[in-house]
Structure formats: C-alpha cells, structure tokens
Structure 1
C-alpha cells in the first residue's frame, strides 16, 4: 500500500440514527485514535446505501455489530453484498486485516463456510469473563478477557478457515492471521451498553443458569486493553509464535 498513515474502514452494520448508532461509531473511532493518533478513519454503511470500502486503500476493516438476524433465509441485498465483500476481502493475498465484532464475527464465519445458531444461553447481556486457550493466552498475553456481551445468536461451526482462541467460539483468528473476531463487544463500556438495554432499571439480570458467567454492565472490563491488542495486531503483524 502506497499510503503512509494507517487507514481504517469501519463497516457500519446498523442505522446510524437509531439508538446508540452515533455513540457506537464515536466509541470505535476514539479507541482507534487512542492506539494510533495518525489513523485515517472512514465510515461505510451499505445498510444505508453506501459503497463498500476499497480493499487496496485500507489496512484494517472493522465489521461492527448489528441487529439483522443472520439466521433468516431471506436476507436483504446489503447483507448478501456484505457476505460477498467478506469473501472477496479474505481471498486476497495482502496485508489487509479484518476485525469482526459480534454481528461482524457471525457474518465472517457465515461467509467463510461456518454456521450460526440461536444462543443456547438466551440473550446474553452483561460483562463476561472469557477464558482463553493456550493460543489465545499467547496472543493477548493474558489468561482471560472481561468483555461486554449483547447477543442472542452465536457461531455454531467456525468453518475451515478460522481457529479458536477461546472456548465456545468466543474469539476467532484466521489461520493466515488476517482475521480476528469477537462474539463480545470490546468497544462497549457501561454507558454505551445502557443505550441498548430496554429494561427500566438498566441493569439486566441474566437467566439463572448464567448468573456465574454474566455480570452487570457496570462491571469493570478489558475493552480498552483488548482494542489496543487488536490495533497492535493490525498494525504490527502480531501473530502466534
């Protein structure tokens, strides 16, 4: 790539004007700038008719979370086009890195031959401690990650191109080290999470069987640490050794 600054394209998979849309984009952008103050950030929203980013002009593409249910058979054109875009982006022999967050992880897994399912644990909202396997511990230099969760669909089968850095397909890394995905939301904090909670007291209680796993949304989390690790991976070619 001929450009000098680190260039990031955020693929926005929700309507910007809906609840939490603008704060979500602002939060992701701020986390990028925290790690690389010279980063150039562009926002692309195919869901609202935007063109997809040029693959040759970016170092990192981030697929955000989103509300569309990827288990539906009838997918709108922007979803089908997004899956095709993922296939095209991941088939290139280039330095481009791709980060998938929640919906983004699900879309990547689906595009690369995996499958999805309704979460066996129901709608997961809160902060969860994700234990890392040996590869995950090496990648993040940690034994576990505390991360915000807000999802009710999960990856059932990761397909042939991804490997697990944590149990239950919580964190995935492609075998060529170009794709990193999280079922959780490393970009979320308590304030942002509250925008997506519809209960009056803003402190959702998980199902009883989840009470030891999910904690309230104001629980301390590792989001900024995780995002810093993501940016290091994206910009410095960090890999498992």
Structure 2
C-alpha cells in the first residue's frame, strides 16, 4: 500500500450555485467533505480526515492552473454544467492534460460525471448527448461482478445529474456499473483510473438547489422536477464510493 500522505489534486471544472458555494466554497470544498468522510470510514492506520490526506484545488476553467505531476499522487476531475464534448479552449486543455496523465503510470485518475466523460474523451471514445434524456436524482445502478468487488456492495445507488454520456468503454477499461439510461456508468483500470457518471459528492441540499434552479429556468419541466424531488432524499452510496476511490488510490 502506498504510504500517506496521499496527495490528491482536485481539478474544479465548474463553480457551484450560490447556496452550495456559501456552505462549501466551491466544488473543491464539496469533494474535500466527501473524501474526508470516506477516509474516516475506512479506518486505515496513519490516514484520517485530519492526517495523511493532502488535498489541493485547481481552477481549470478560469485560471486554467494545473498541478505538477511530481507533486501529487492523483487527480480528481469534478462534475460541471459545461459540455464535455465542446471545444472551448479550457476543455481542450483539460483533455490534453488528462491524456498526459494517462501516458504515465504513477499519478492516478478519478473522474466524476463531466470528469468521467473527459476521461472517456481523452481515451478516444465517443462522448455526446444521450437520446434517452436526463438521468437525475437518486438512481439504482446495476453493478457488474467486478463492480461489486470494487465498491464492496451487491447494489449501489447514486445521485445523478446528466444527459451527456460516454457511449462505450475504452479498450482495456473494466465495466463496473450500468443503468437503463446510461450503459457506461463507471470505468476502472487497476492502479490507473476509476470514474463514475453519478455524483457521490452531492447530498440532498445540493441536489435540491440544482433542481429548483433548473426548474425555474425551464431546463426541467414540472414532471421531471416533481419526480426528482420525490427521490432526492432516498439513501445513496456517496461515502461508499468515496471509500472505493481511496482504496483504489492506496492499491499497490
């Protein structure tokens, strides 16, 4: 097992809405809370929310700052309201940086939602808008046998907030999970990368703020909004996924 400190660079791919920003500062703060909850649940020696976990945050949208690979052990690409298959300069720069990380073997990759899609794009598979529409609120995932091993559960539920998808698994990537609307829910290569299309970092409060904002702006119609709000407080496995991320990073 790699020894602490475990140095994770969080690449912020968006800025949260006002209520979430007031509570957490940014998505770096949201993921800090998730990873600290996960590491405390693991009960590993020399590693806890207060010791052995070194988190740094980089704004890759506006500042377009990136860590030096020799200074970190992993990168975490966050979710985003932006479109992973667009060609905005900052998105192209993020794809190129991800490709550089993929070329080496030491620094590992975690991708969430938009970040999951960026990893798929960097690996050369199709990423685009799903013809099945939005997948939102708490959704049950069908885990493969490998997925059950990695997440340590027979079944998994996560908050979802997307209509863009990775269309196929890149060569050499293991399939961990699927849903009816999204076949590529979680990608895995031992000691190299793990991604999820869902949002382990989102809680009920964060989700409700997004639902209400998108409903008010017409992105979600009344039926979508009401359905999402009915399921938003159901149990989800965010901390379980956080633990899986950390076990992946600590894997020899």
Tell me the secondary structure at the aligned position of residue 210 of structure 2: coil
- In structure 1, the residue matched to 2:247 is 232
Indicate yes or no: 2:68 matched with 1:65. no
1:101-122 deviation line (CA, Å, top 9, x unaligned) = 0000000000111111312321
Instruction: Decide which of 102, 109, 117 is 2:120's aligned counterpart.
Output: 109
Indicate yes or no: 2:32 matched with 1:29. yes
Contact 1:112 1:161 in 2 (8 A): no
- In structure 1, the residue matched to 2:12 is 12
Indicate yes or no: 2:143 matched with 1:132. yes
Indicate yes or no: 2:207 matched with 1:222. no
Instruction: Determine the C-alpha separation between the residues in 1 that align with 2:164 and 2:83.
Output: 8
Instruction: Determine the C-alpha separation between the residues in 2 that align with 1:45 and 1:23.
Output: 10
Kindly report which structure 2 residues correspond to 1:1-241, keeping only aligned pairs within 5 A, or say none: 5-15=5-15, 20-21=20-21, 22=25, 24-34=27-37, 35=39, 36-37=48-49, 38=51, 39-72=53-86, 75-94=87-106, 96-167=107-178, 168-174=183-189, 176-197=190-211, 198=213, 199=215, 205-206=223-224, 216-237=231-252
**TM-score of the two chains, using structure 2 as the length reference:** 0.81
- In structure 1, the residue matched to 2:43 is none
1:73-125 deviation line (CA, Å, top 9, x unaligned) = xx12111110010010011022x221100000000000111111312321221
More helix by share: 2
Q: Compute the RMSD of aligned alpha carbons.
A: 2.8
Aligned positions, number: 228
**TM-score of the two chains, using structure 1 as the length reference:** 0.84
Instruction: Determine the C-alpha separation between the residues in 2 that align with 1:162 and 1:113.
Output: 12
Displacement of 1:205: 4.5
Displacement of 1:141: 1.9
Instruction: Determine the C-alpha separation between the residues in 2 that align with 1:234 and 1:46.
Output: 22
Cα distance, 1:228–1:4 mapped onto 2, change above 3 Å: closer
Instruction: Determine the C-alpha separation between the residues in 2 that align with 1:232 and 1:193.
Output: 27
Structure 1: where are the runs of 5+ without partners? Answer: none
